Structure 1
Amino acid sequence: MEAQLRPGAREAIFAQLIDAGRSEQVARRLTDAIILGVLTPGERLPSEQELARRFGVALITVREGLVLLRDAGLVETRRGREGGSFVIQTDAPHSALLQARLRGLAQVELSDLAVYFSTIIEGCAERAALRASPVDSERLRAWLADSAGGGTAGARATAGGFYLELAVLSQSPRLVREHIRLQAEFGPLLLLALGDAGIRSRVARVNGEIAEAIAGADGPAARALVAGQVQDLAVWLLTAKARIERGGQLYDPA
C-alpha cells in the first residue's frame, strides 16, 4: 500500500515561491518533490496555468522550468485531451545530480545547512507536540506504518515526507514555508544517507519515537530526537563528501 501525504503537506509543496520569477526555482521545487516521493511515478502535475498560479510566477517561467525537468528525464509531456506533464522517474537517475551538488558545497557550508535545517525541523517537531490533536497523532502513526519498506527510495520518500508532516502539524504557515524552502535546498542531499542500511534502520526507529513523543505532547523529547537524527544524517553526509573527494564512492562498500 502506497502511503499518501496528508493534503496539507501536498499543498505546501506547491506554495508560492519566495523569490518568484526564476524557472530554476520551479524546476528545483518539483525535482526535489519527485526525489522525496511527494510526487510519484505516473502522477500528472497540475496544469501550467495552475502551477503558475500556485507558485506565483509567470506562465513562461513555469514552461521554462518544465523544460529543465524534461531535459533531466524527470517528466514527460503528453499532448491531447488526456495530456499534461507526468512524473516518469524517482530515484536512481538523481544520484549523479545530487553527488555533483554535494561536490559543489564546502564542508563548512554543509555543516551550516545542517544546523539551519535541524533548527527549523526541531521547532516544527516541538510545536507539533503542542498543537497536534489525537487524530493528527494517530494519522501520523498510521502514515509511518503505511510508509514502511520500499528500500532506499521508499526510505527517502518517508523521511522527507515525515519532516514535511511535522512542519504541517506545527500549524505555523511561516514554519511550513521556511521548511519547504530549506528542504528543497538541502533535504535531498541530507537524505542521501538513507542509501546506508544502518542509517535507514535508525531513521525508521527514531521516526517512530518522534511520533510517540508528539502523541504524548512531549515537545522537548520530540525536539531532542529530531536534533539527534539530523546530526546522524549530517555526520554521514560530511563523511561521504570527504570520501568521494578522495576518489572513493558515495557509499562505503564496507
Structure 2
Amino acid sequence: MSKLSGGALHAVFAPVDNLARVDAVVRRLGDAIELGLLADGEQLPGETELATRLGVSTVTLREALMALRQQGLVTTRRGRGGGSFVTTPGQPRASRLADWSTEELRDLADHWSAVSGTAARLAAERTEPEDLGALLRSLDEYEAEADPTARGRIYGRINVELAAAAQSARLTKEEIRIQADLGPLICLALGDDDHHPAVAQLHRALLRAVLDGDSEQSRSLAERRVQDAMERLVELRLTDSG
C-alpha cells in the first residue's frame, strides 16, 4: 500500500505533458519508484485507469510498462490477482558527484531552495494538521532508519509530501523531478551517521512550524534544510576534486 498522501499520489499519476509520451510515462513512474514514492510490491492501477489518469493511450502505457519491466522497476503478473507491481531497486540509479560542478550544485541549490521554501510557506497557510499524517509517518521512519540509501529515499518522500501539503500539483511534480535528479547524491550527503540527528531535528522543527501555521518560519527552515544538504554536497565535491 502506498505511503503517500492523496495530493502526492495525484502528482505522480497526473497527466503527462511531454510530446515523447512513452518516455514521459517511463520517467514519471520510474522516478516515483526509484524515490520510494511508490512502495515495493504496490500494485499499480489497471491499465485502462492508469492510462486515463496519465492522459495517454493504453498502447503508450503498455510500451512504458514494458520499458519499466526491462529496467527491473515493474513486474507483471497474469491471471487472477494479476497486474503490474512495483519493484523497488536495492540502489538508486547511479549518479556520480564528479559529474556535477560546484557551480551546477549551487545553481540547483538555489532552484530547490525556491521550490521547497515556497512549498513550506504554502503548506503552513493551507494545510490542516489532520492532512499531515503521511508526512509525520515519513519523519518517524527517517529517524528510525539506519541505512543511508533507505534514508535518502525517505528524505525524498518527505520533500514530496511537504510540496503536496502546499496543495500545488505543479510544485509537487517539480519536487519529484528535483528529488529524482538529486536522489543518489542526497544519499552521499546523508551518509554520515553523526549528521543524521541534526537533519532529523531540522525536519521536526519545520513540521512544527507548518503545524503552527507559521508561514515565514516554515519557509526559512525549508530553505535552511536545502542549503545544509547542498553545502555538504559542495564540500564533498571539493574534497573529491582536491
TM-score range, shorter chain: 0.7 to 0.9
Alignment match, 2:122: 127
Give the structure-2-normalised TM-score: 0.83
Aligned equivalent of 1:230, options 210, 226, 231: 226
> How many Å separate the matches in 2 of 1:242 and 1:68?
37
Q: Does 1:201 align with 2:197?
A: yes
Structure 1 unaligned runs (5+)?
247-254
> How many Å separate the matches in 2 of 1:3 and 1:19?
26
Alignment match, 2:63: 64
Task: Report if the CA contact (8 A) 1:98-1:188 is conserved.
Answer: no
Aligned equivalent of 1:211, options 198, 207, 211: 207
Give the structure-1-normalised TM-score: 0.80
Letter in 2 for 1:60: V
Correspondence list, 1:85-100, <5 A: 85-92=84-91, 94=92, 97-99=93-95
Q: For residues 192-214 of structure 1, what are the alpha-carbon distances to aligned partners after superposition, in whole Å with 9 as ceiling and x for unaligned?
A: 22333234332211111100111
Q: Does 1:113 align with 2:108?
A: yes
Q: For residues 229-250 of structure 1, what are the alpha-carbon distances to aligned partners after superposition, in whole Å with 9 as ceiling and x for unaligned?
A: 111221233344455667xxxx
What is the SS of the residue equivalent to 2:95?
helix
Correspondence list, 1:122-201, <5 A: 122-136=117-131, 140-141=135-136, 143-145=138-140, 148-151=143-146, 152-184=148-180, 186-192=181-187, 193-201=189-197
Task: Report if the CA contact (8 A) 2:31-2:176 is conserved.
Answer: no
Cα distance change on mapping 1:195 and 1:64 into 2, 3 Å: farther
> How many Å separate the matches in 1 of 2:209 and 2:196?
20
1:67 Cα offset (Å): 2.6
Percent of residue pairs identical: 38
1:106 Cα offset (Å): 4.1
> How many Å separate the matches in 1 of 2:67 and 2:186?
23
> How many Å separate the matches in 2 of 1:143 and 1:177?
19
Task: Report if the CA contact (8 A) 2:2-2:37 is conserved.
Answer: no
Cα distance change on mapping 1:57 and 1:187 into 2, 3 Å: farther
What is the SS of the residue equivalent to 1:76?
strand
Alignment match, 1:77: 76
Cα distance change on mapping 1:164 and 1:84 into 2, 3 Å: same
Q: Does 1:12 align with 2:11?
A: yes
Alignment RMSD (CA, Å): 2.8
Cα distance change on mapping 1:15 and 1:244 into 2, 3 Å: farther
* Further displaced range: 106-115 or 221-230: 106-115
What is the SS of the residue equivalent to 2:85?
strand
Structure 2 unaligned runs (5+)?
none
What is the SS of the residue equivalent to 1:195?
coil
1:13 Cα offset (Å): 1.3
